[in-house]
Amino acid sequence: MAGEVQYDKVRAVELRDGAVHLIDQRVLPLEVRYEVCRDARQVAAAITDMVVRGAPAIGVTAAYGVVLAAAGAYRAAGPGWRAAMAGDMECLRASRPTAVNLHWALARMEEAMAGLGAEDPTVPLTGAATRLHAEDIEANRRMGVLGAALLPKGARLLTHCNTGALATGGYGTALGVVRAAAARGGVAAVYADETRPWLQGARLTAWELVTEGLPATILADGAAAALLQRGHIDAILVGADRIAANGDTANKIGTYGLAVLARHHGVPFYVVAPTSTIDRACPDGSGIPIEERDPLEVLAFRGVRHSPEQARAWNPVFDVTPASLIDALVTEEGVVERPDAGGIAALFGAIRPA
């Protein structure tokens, strides 16, 4: 709408000058620093090390990693570039196991590669990756509009982890809904769970909100229950790293607990994610691999140990929220209320062929 503030200043991933430029999300908000990846192995390391994170952003980054892999392979092997880049492809594929968008993006790029000959693949693969990136941003904008329509005017919202432009190609999934609602003048407050142990909410979501001039209140993860009990939240918005065919959703650890709290307090719980996050080959949440990371991420922060040396830690990155606790799944292709296997199958049945 003409005259609306768009709240769309942040881009975490860019391909320029033959390299992938990433906002280093490990050092935000204290520093805005860019990691420059000049080959596919550096891209894979950036994904693993959480320079970039968030399922859609990982997918976009991996697509650009394929461009670098192909360009390097052509320089090294000429017409034999396909075989020469096989190791880089496997390295990209192994960089994060849970985010299905990674594998989706690599499959998209492999489809683009299938139509190429022995000539230099850099230009056509750059075009394919750029289109994938643009499609992600457009999908996020559509999700923003659809999700904002579910919210009351002057909504007070709670988010978990980071689901904004930093986690996607741009604009964001759940935080894109916040942006869209704010553009209509419809957001009174945004509460961001700090999201231990990496503090994506406190560091990244709050940074995006402040950068856009939107209200931002950070709370400890354990304070969410009290906030809901006091009736201060109108809806909870979260993203997803993988959604099973029945609607079970893997997302940042702590999401499941929020869904239980939301149901107890009668607060709508919305998952906002592109259809590329839905893994139709996975029947339910029990089949979603749950990544576990270094226990030191829980036992220390920024390299400073705060727990006894003898203590151990359990550090799952994600948990699985049963579909029965989700009030609506918002995708770029439409909203699935009370998602289940039938609703998700119907969603894909309604999607027009590409």
For the chain, the structural domain boundaries read: 13-138, 144-350
Q: Are the beta carbons of 330 and 177 closer than 8 angstroms?
A: yes
pLDDT at 1: 44
pLDDT at 2: 44
Please, which residues have CB within 8 angstroms of residue 261's CB and are 6 or more apart in sequence? 224, 225, 228, 267
Q: What is the mean pLDDT of each run of 10 residues along the chain (354 residues)?
A: 68 96 95 97 97 93 98 98 98 88 95 96 98 96 98 97 96 97 92 96 97 96 98 98 97 98 98 95 97 94 92 97 98 98 95 60
144-350 and 13-138 share a CATH fold: no
Q: Which residues pair with 191 in a beta bridge?
A: 158, 217
pLDDT at 15: 97
Cα separation, 293 vs 145, whole angstroms: 35
- Side by side, the strands of the sheet bearing 249-252 are 278-279, 242-244, 249-252, 318-321
Please, which residues have CB within 8 angstroms of residue 125's CB and are 6 or more apart in sequence? 66, 67, 70, 109, 112, 113, 116
Cα separation, 154 vs 215, whole angstroms: 12
The token duo for 352 is 């027009």
pLDDT at 351: 74
pLDDT at 213: 93
Q: Are the beta carbons of 90 and 50 closer than 8 angstroms?
A: no
What architecture (CATH level 2) is domain 144-350? 3-Layer(aba) Sandwich (3.40)
Cα separation, 168 vs 162, whole angstroms: 10
Superfamily of domain 13-138 in the CATH hierarchy: translation initiation factor eif-2b, domain 1 (1.20.120.420)
Cα separation, 31 vs 319, whole angstroms: 30
Cα separation, 344 vs 330, whole angstroms: 11
Three-state secondary structure readout of the chain:
CCCCCCCCCCCCEEEECCEEEEECCCCCCCCCCEEEECCHHHHHHHHHCCCCCCHHHHHHHHHHHHHHHHHHHHHHHHHHHHHHCHHHHHHHHCCCCCCHHHHHHHHHHHHHHHCCCCCCCHHHHHHHHHHHHHHHHHHHHHHHHHHHCCCCCCEEEEECCCCEHHHCCCCECHHHHHHHHHHCCCEEEEEEECCCCCCHHHHHHHHHHHHHCCCCEEECHHHHHHHHHCCCCCEEEECCCEEECCCCEEEECCHHHHHHHHHHHCCCEEEECCHHHEECCCCCHHHCCCCECCCHHHHEECCEECCCCCCCCCCECEEEECHHHCCEEEECCEEEECCCHHHHHHHHHHCCCC
Catalytic positions:
241
pLDDT at 186: 81
First-to-final CA distance of the chain:
27
